[in-house]
Chains A and B, each alone.
Chain A
Amino acid sequence: MSNIEDAISRQETTLVTRLLTSQAFLVLLAVLVASVALHFATNGVFSSDRNLFNITRNATFVGIIALGMTFVIITGGIDLSVGSVLMLSSMVCAKVMNAGYGIEYGIAAALSAALLVGFVNGVMIAYLRFPPFVVTLAMMSIARSLGMVTSQNTTISKFGPDHDSLLWIGGGSLIQGVPNPVLIALTLCAICAFVLSLTRFGRYVMAIGGSERAAEATGVPVRQIKVGVYMISSLSAGICGVVEVAWLGAVTTNLGAGMELQVIAVAVIGGANLAGGSGTAIGAIIGAMLIEIIRNSLGLLGINAYWQGTFIGSAILFAVLFDRIANLRRDG
């Protein structure tokens, strides 16, 4: 028996080397180093309560969707429709509440709309075997158009009887000092981390990304799981839509435009591999933090905003570089 216990405990890698090859951990280090450097470079403006509050809250919007996107990317797919789903669901929420219904109806309608879009995406990808890129590209167009139809391209800023409760979700703090959006993002991160590492669903998501053929051969319900991940991705965009309308206090039809690419960037920086098979929930949140710190610090340091894209693009390339180096070491 001792032999078996020995074999179980033995591993080719130690905890330290695993941490050092974990992309999420390296990005976290980058976040910490950048934060300390920025604290001194900006004479403490960066680390003022006000600024940290802004950074964390802004990071959560992209981070929430990146959590859902991570599931899709782990299976080797992609979801380009999330920016439009965000807008559609916030528009549905606004419209329903504007018509005089309570907040619970507004949120339920918004999330149902998001889940429906994800379901349609998933069915076309898993059962009709359409390429994810094309399906979600089409859905990106359709969902935004439906949002415009819903609102007739007007801005909605009055949310009926539960107006104040909605704004509290975006602007209030259930726990003193922690903005509600941050609380929501952290809760979702914990749920996603749990699902990915401790449930059978999460195991199957990883398996599909590793080898779809192997997953199928061993009886994993590949198609159902795939529909599931696209619904999760859409749902995360729907949740973000509600939180964002609650924060902004108004919805316009260009909300979330171009956000899908930011979200994918964040997921990739956080360690999700577009080829499938790897990614973590915590990585998605840490990736969102890094992007937001870059954006925020450029402003604080007085660097022309036009440079933002260059810095964020470089961060993406660095992330991929780290991934390559870690893999080379493994293969070698």
Chain B
Amino acid sequence: MPALELTHVAKHFGAIQAVSDVSFTLEAGEVIGLMGDNGAGKSTLVKMIAGNFLPTHGKIAIDGREVVMHRPVEARRHGVEIVHQDLALCNNLTAAANVFLGREMRKGFGPFSVLDYAGMYKRSAEVFAELKSETRPRDLIKMMSGGQRQAVAIARTMLSDAKIVLMDEPTAAISVRQVAEVLNLIRALRDKGITVVLISHRMPDVFGVADRVIVMRRGHKVADKKTADSSPEEVTALITGALEKAD
């Protein structure tokens, strides 16, 4: 049973066809690279999976069940988490505080319950350990590297038992050394059986970590193949339109 299945999904904004007739399936624990030029329909596609937009046509199924998601909260309830490009972290708080933001652990009863600092430090340290990240729960976000910040944002998705993690350009604004760190985070998610959709412009990252690559051009899916059977040259040609469709 596929973790995520899109069947003939399309999204129109008035006369503009942002996404036309896209179908694909993702298995659990699969890493997929979603590529395409600006305006190719990647973002619209991802926003439909994340619950920001309803598809105009077509169906989305998660774990074999068809879902209709009107808001991001509903997607989250179905186990879809998105890691935004700007990560949405609070610089003035610790890593643990950010991981648990909005769902703090507390101890005590009712109005007398207080934040369970020790519990949250412990649980987030465990998640960072699972991610094989050096990130420390008590450090402030503002003192962290780009890679560590990614780890915090990803730890947040793991805490909620996500089945599908959508990552929007996670390696766009960080140093080369940190890119390796982020790719390791993605592998750690995969090893836990989580499906990762990696939206990226960076060819080496997609070919380094993704099992499959899906290429979008002008709202259409023009390729969907194993990275082992493709090459950066072919994908570049597909993105620019030099190659009409993958064989």
Contacts and interface: CB of A to CB of B under 8 A. Distances in A.
Contacts of B73: 219
A203 interface: yes
Contacts, number: 85
Interface residues of B, number: 33
A180 B172 CA distance: 59
Contact of B143 (A8, A12, A198): A12
Interface string B79-101: 00000101111111100011001
A243 B39 CA distance: 62
A65 B201 CA distance: 52
Contacts of B137: 7-8
Contacts of A4: 122, 125-126, 129
B14 interface: no
B104 A7 contact: no
Contacts of B92: 206, 209-210, 277-278
A189 to B, nearest CB: 18
Interface residues of A, number: 28
A219 B102 contact: yes
Given A200-B115, A203-B97, A207-B101, A8 B91 contact: no
Interface in A204-229: 206-207, 209-211, 213-215, 217-220
Nearest to B105: A200
B139 interface: yes
Contacts of B89: 211, 214
Given A214-B89, A218-B102, A277-B91, A199 B115 contact: yes
Contact of B101 (A199, A209, A214, A330): A214
B114 A207 contact: no
Interface string A296-316: 000000000000000000000
B4 to A, nearest CB: 22
Nearest to B118: A8
A8 B94 CA distance: 12
Given A11-B139, A218-B103, 18 more contacts: A7-B128, A8-B138, A10-B136, A11-B138, A12-B139, A12-B143, A199-B114, A200-B104, A200-B106, A206-B90, A206-B92, A207-B93, A211-B90, A214-B89, A215-B90, A217-B84, A218-B88, A219-B103
27 contacts: A4-B122, A7-B125, A7-B129, A8-B121, A10-B138, A12-B143, A197-B115, A199-B115, A200-B104, A200-B106, A200-B115, A203-B101, A206-B90, A207-B93, A207-B101, A209-B92, A210-B90, A210-B91, A211-B88, A211-B90, A215-B101, A217-B88, A219-B73, A219-B102, A219-B103, A330-B142, A330-B143
Interface of B: 73, 84, 86-93, 97-98, 101-104, 106, 114-115, 121-122, 125-126, 128-129, 136-140, 142-143, 156
